[in-house]
Structure 1
């Protein structure tokens, strides 16, 4: 466990040391501010009311921004290290490949949590500035952001699995994003399969908002997302284990 903790810490430091991931966090924070300004300019049109702004930012982030960030992180932690040869030095250490795979996945999860935290802080501050603290349900908003990491897990493992099939970081990003879009498009065209696709639940935080929570629906979605996470972890770690570098 200590090895995995140390490895995850090294991997997240590796990500944050790259300037583009620092810039991405700044841009993520600007989403909350720009959404608030757009909502104020539109005077509540197109659903961008300041009181609902943290949820609007969360919807944009989980549906579009975070999947792109995940694809980029998977490309840099997996494929880019294959390109520059550093992965060879890592796999020769006295640590199993599945542990190495796990540390990289944990690093991506930590980065996405950090991005969500930035979105939460900027959107809440903007909402309070424009509409006052009385317009914001802080506990409900915080809960929505916390649970939103769950549907990101299968997306992270999907991108990590795709990275095992690619030889360049650019192809990993393109194939991950393209694959994500294809899955979303197919589930939209064929609504019957929509409930069975993990990309359909990036907005599952909405189940936690309101006077009553549909516990049965929440549990059903949770089981589905956990199943996808475990399956993709198994496939991705197996591919990482068998890959020759």
Structure 2
């Protein structure tokens, strides 16, 4: 990522997580281009209309942002994938599905809590806020707090956390972020497990998928295959 001039700093509550460089492997490359406002919803919209409206809003907010995987995939793929995991688990609560689509807009775009509340109501905005890190903190402290605060999240927010981690670990298995070592990948999986173990009761289906990865998952780096979460062997190696 090239050097970027960050936007003026908003309040700590709404400050976009635009690390320079990014603190987390999945923080997007920022886009500072103003985006068009989505059209207003009709009165009494269907759940389908709500979800499409939510997706349109998120797509505008994340326009031109890219993930930090080797292919620089469009960032919007991530929140769509997170919401899809929740829907495929059998969850029909439209608030959870909307919050999953929107879960990164407060961290990674110029969207404010007030804007989100006005567009989608307090119920959705509150869940998104639960899923939003305090971006005045460094990356390690943000990770520590995710573990420390996970038990106090609502079941809705915990489901988003589970699906978010599932999408992230699958992305890492598919393509290890550029510059990562084996140790860093495995440290990410250990931390993800700490968070998701606390949240697993909120969505057992997603939790089971994560557990399969923790127990049996592998990734490839520099032509070698490694366990995502290896059991310590006598020689200390996790290579297969």
Confirm or deny a common fold (TM above 0.5): no
Structure with higher RCO (Cα < 8 A, 6+ apart): 1
Query: Between Structure 1 and Structure 2, which shows a larger proportion of helix residues?
Result: 1
TM-score (norm 1): 0.31
Give me the TM-score of the superposition, normalised by structure 2: 0.31
Q: Which has the larger radius of gyration?
A: 1
